[in-house]
Amino acid sequence: MKNHYKALGRMTQLTGLPLEYAAGLPKVELEGFTTARVECHRGVLQYSENIVELGGKGAKIRISGSGLGLKALSPALAVITGRISGAEYIFGEDGE
């Protein structure tokens, strides 16, 4: 496993890509209180007006709030809009 991390480190140095992209880890960005962007997700696990839960490598990603909706969804990116009150990673519970 140590060699795997070394290889990822070398690859990020050579390509200039952040480690989370090289490792396939999800990236969550909040834009104010109304938009959340999740890159490198693994699909929608739960969807309601109050919770959007996405699969991710190593954890689930839960966006909570009110009036939530999916503005965009592709294999690479999910854009969630509405009144966002929280974003969290959930480890275990079927999140690898």
The ranges assigned to domains in the chain are 24-90
Q: What is the mean pLDDT of residues 17-45?
A: 84
Neighbours of 10 (CB within 10 A): 11
Per-residue model confidence (pLDDT) at position 22: 57
Give this prediction's pTM. 0.76
Per-residue model confidence (pLDDT) at position 95: 47
Which residue is it, tokens 């060699």? 3
Q: What is the mean pLDDT of residues 7-31?
A: 70
Query: Looking at domain 24-90, does it have CATH number 1.10.12.10?
Result: no
Per-residue model confidence (pLDDT) at position 9: 63
pLDDT at 78 over 70: yes
**Cα(64)–Cα(46) distance, integer angstroms:** 11
Neighbours of 48 (CB within 10 A): 9
